Copies of this chain bind each other. A is one copy, B any other.
Amino acid sequence: MAGSIFGKQFMVSTWGESHGKGIGVVVDGCPAGLRLSEEIIQPYMDRRKPGQTRYATPRKESDRVEILSGVFEGRTTGTPISMMVHNTSQRSADYSEIMNYYRPGHADFTFDSKYGFRDYRGGGRSSGRETAGRVAAGAVAAEILKELGVKVQAYSKEIGGIRAEHIDLDKIMESPLYMPDLEASERAELLLEQKIKEQDSVGGIIECVVKGMPAGVGETVFEKLDANLAKAVMSIGAVKGVEIGDGFLAAASFGSQNNDAFCMGEDGRVLKKTNHSGGILGGISDGSDIILRAAIKPTPSIAHSQQTVNRSGEEISVEIKGRHDPVIVPRAVVVVEAMVSLTVLDMLFLSMTSELDRVKRFFGA
């Protein structure tokens, strides 16, 4: 089936392989009238670009995004926005060896099982490079959300077990690891140095906060806001877990602790005294900040010696060479942000028909 299409009302269709001609995305369902240009999207792309710090693969991709359609005189026209990033730094030689065996922790074996063969160059479609399309689309969604007063912000919450405890969202960009607790960030950097020497890698946790979300968004039963967020975030390559609000901690809590008491805000709005729920009750936004976390596994590509099998069915030992990040987390921060933005925007759009009176007002009836 088609697996690279996301969303219902605001839809995104991505394409491209690590070592093909490029990576791209078509955004369909974007309202007309949004200011959009390559200059607006590029900063989002730069955050996931390789070669930014020494903790990221030194592959030098300019990752310049090009808008191919859907924008006229600086504004979106309401028709599909096609965007593309050309691949410029493809050292196929690096990968010629891996065509015959299955890298542990990678999708080589499962691709062969599913498709009968695979584009083995740099992981092909299962490469992290695929996320460039997500980020470009996420940038469009984020720009619309801004217009609606909604802000999505992700950061590294934990790297290799080192946790950001004193979060200051204004510091995110000051940390090379996008970790908004600079003391923890420094310790994490030291750990990464050590792991690079040990030819090993680490995992971590990304946290994402959505501010300004109106109450009442998300659907009951299967199309809950948290259900859609879980799918969106779990669809990112290395994510192995997703939680909302207190998440797995809630499982060990009591009802008397976990329930958030309601109170009245000064502006007459209903507020919650705490936010164990992470901004979602019964699958619908409750007006508090939405908070989710994603567990990211350690980079599977390591120079360490590993056991595996080749396509001839022989058990072999391999050391994976090439340019690899010792940790995926920092570059995945903007990807989580993108997926959350895409989901939140789509659910906002889909929520517009919940009440007949609001629909009537929209149509002037």
Contact = CB atoms under 8 A, between A and B. Distances in A.
A43 interface: no
24 contacts: A2-B29, A3-B224, A9-B9, A13-B13, A14-B26, A15-B79, A17-B72, A20-B69, A24-B82, A31-B355, A31-B359, A72-B124, A77-B115, A107-B220, A107-B282, A114-B215, A158-B252, A161-B252, A203-B251, A203-B253, A248-B295, A250-B297, A261-B306, A349-B353
Given A113-B287, A240-B246, A258 B68 contact: no
Given A1-B223, A17-B70, A114-B215, 19 more contacts: A1-B9, A3-B28, A4-B223, A6-B222, A77-B125, A109-B215, A110-B216, A116-B357, A200-B254, A200-B255, A200-B256, A203-B258, A228-B231, A241-B251, A250-B295, A255-B301, A258-B297, A264-B315, A352-B353
A242 to B, nearest CB: 6
Interface stretch (A45-53, A56-64, A98-106, A177-185): A98-106
A138 interface: no
Interface string A251-272: 1111111111111100010100
Contact of A116 (B22, B351, B355, B363): B355
A235 B352 CA distance: 21
A128 to B, nearest CB: 11
Given A220-B3, A295-B248, A147 B360 contact: yes
A284 B223 contact: no
A321 interface: no
Nearest 9 pairs of A and B residues by beta carbon: A107-B282, A3-B219, A241-B243, A231-B231, A201-B255, A2-B29, A2-B28, A110-B284, A113-B216
A244 interface: yes
**Interface residues of chain A: helix, strand, loop or mixed (majority):** mixed
A216 to B, nearest CB: 4
Most buried by B among A11, A32, A121: A32
A309 interface: yes
A31 B354 contact: yes
A204 B252 CA distance: 6
A118 B75 CA distance: 10
This chain: copies in complex = 4
Contacts of A107: 220, 281-284
Most buried by B among A78, A113, A246, A260: A78
Given A29-B2, A262-B102, A240 B230 contact: no
Contact of A241 (B84, B106, B215, B241): B241
B110 A254 contact: no
Interface in A192-222: 195, 200-205, 214-222
A278 interface: yes
A355 B24 contact: no
Given A200-B255, A298-B253, A307-B263, A354 B222 contact: no
A252 B245 CA distance: 20
Nearest to A76: B356
A54 interface: no
Contacts of A264: 309, 313-315
Contacts of A152: none
Most buried by B among A2, A160, A247, A360: A2
Contacts of A300: 255, 258-259
